[in-house]
Structures are given as structure tokens and as C-alpha cells.
Amino acid sequence: MKRMLITIFALVIVMPATQAFAARYKIEITNLTNANFFTPVLVAAHRHDLDMFEVGESASDALQAIAEGGDTALMQTVLDGAGAASSVAETPTLEPVLAPGETAVALVDAKGRNRLLSLAAMILPTNDAFIGLDAINLRRFSNRTVYLYGYDAGTEANNELLNPGAGGVPGVPGIPGDPSGLAGSGGAGVSSSDFNDTVHVHRGIVGDDDEFGGVSDLDRSAHRWQNPVARVVITRVRGNYVLD
């Protein structure tokens, strides 16, 4: 009997800690800009050896698809292949974009080694700007608030010119659209090339006040921002918690 108890105790001791860890978190993302929108926000709990993006490094094809067109499909495939838990945050109106002042909500189940939280979404109207949260520890940041920068994916020059349809295709210059309806047309283009082709903090919109010309199609009084652009509230909830 004594030998059996020792054996059972030993099995408990050697059980990997990752097998025992499991928690559910509610992630609330608020748009803090004046007239910019966020495309569907992809949220993931993942391992230490996986990154959705890395500041100072070249953007992956999956990140480029998000930053230039708001397309999360490729990144979701990458996350699924690595065993991460991912979901797209729900907007209050169930519209695909998150309007200024609104909050989108997602639930993520962190299990095993999936203890890090990341998220990303395109900022509209821009060429390749995105909000991003890079691999923070969920247990350390439980019941905390985090403010996010707007990042530049470094994959496309910020010409600030609308190019509906084609603008959202990776590698095709231009902004796919402006949900605010405040953009103009006929701009000459702010830039044909950028100095930094890695992921970096976005310099913000230049814009102008010429609705039918100037250098930009964007309105500097409406679309311009200074960081931060989003607020994220991380709350640990009960395992049976569901969104309303």
C-alpha cells in the first residue's frame, strides 16, 4: 500500500504543468480613434514559439493580408496549424468593422502551452496600418487594461490614395475603402516609397483638407491620429462563461 501511494504521488509530481493549465478570458477591444475603423479583430491564445508579428521584423504573408486588406483567413490557418486558440471578436452591431468608440468582444480559452495573447486588425482607411498586441502573458495581464499602438506593416508605401477593390489585395497599392465616408479623391499621393520596410510604429495619417485633390485622399482633420488607437481589457472569467 505504501509503495502504491508513493507511485501515485510521483505521477502527480511529474505531470507536466502545461496539462493542468486551463483558463477562459474575455478580451474587449475599444476603438479610440476619431474616424477610423478596425477590420475584424483576430484574437489568439498561443505558445511562446509563435508570433502573429514581431516589431522590427518583416511582416509575414499572413500579417500583410490583415494589414492591407483586413483578411484574417491566412493567419487563422497559421494559428490553427500551430494548435493556437483563435477567434474573431464580435462587434456590438455585428457589422464586420469596428466603428470609433465601439467595443468588440472575444473569448479565448488558454490551455496547455497557449498562455500568450496576441491580436491584429487593419485600420481603415490606411494602406497597411494595423492595431496589434504581441504575445503578452495572459496570467500576468489578467484583469488588466492595455493600450495599443497603430503599427505599419512596412509592406506598402503610405500613398493615402483610395483604390476600392484592388487596394485590399496584398501588393497592390491603395486603400481599399473608407467606412466613414469622409475621404476625398484625386490626391497626388503622399509617398511612393517608405524608409522602413519592417513592422514599426505607424507615423499616422498626413491627410489634407482638399476633397478633390491635394496630396492625400484622406481628411487630416478627421482621419489623423496619435497613439494609442485602441484599448484592450483582459478579464479572466469562469470556464462556462459565454458572450451574451
CATH assignment at residue 230: 2.60.40.2130
Paired with 148 in beta bridges are: 230
pTM: 0.90
Identify each DSSP E strand in the chain by its residue range: 22-31, 37-38, 42-46, 85-88, 103-111, 116-124, 129-137, 144-148, 150-152, 200-201, 230-237
Considering the chain, what is the average pLDDT of its residues?
A: 91
Each residue's pLDDT tens digit, 105-143: 999 999 999 999 999 999 999 999 999 999 999 988 889
* Residue ranges making up the domain that contains 149: 21-156+195-204+226-237
What is the average per-residue pLDDT within 74-78? 97
For residue 240, the model assigns a pLDDT of 85
Does 186 fall in a domain? no
Residue 20 has pLDDT above 70, yes or no: no
CA distances from 189 to 29, 150, 200 (A): 32, 21, 21
Does 126 fall in a domain? yes
Interatomic CA distance for residues 217 and 5, integer angstroms: 74
Does 102 fall in a domain? yes
* Cβ atoms of 59 and 154 closer than 8 Å: yes
Does 12 fall in a domain? no
Residue 28 has pLDDT above 80, yes or no: yes
% residues pLDDT > 90 (the chain): 81
**Cβ neighbours around 153 below 10 Å, total:** 29
Residue 80 has pLDDT above 90, yes or no: yes
% residues pLDDT > 70 (the chain): 91
Does 209 fall in a domain? no
For residue 21, the model assigns a pLDDT of 66
Each residue's pLDDT tens digit, 215-224: 999 999 999 9
Q: How many domains does the chain have?
A: 1
Does 10 fall in a domain? no
Does 49 fall in a domain? yes
Does 167 fall in a domain? no
Interatomic CA distance for residues 235 and 144, integer angstroms: 7
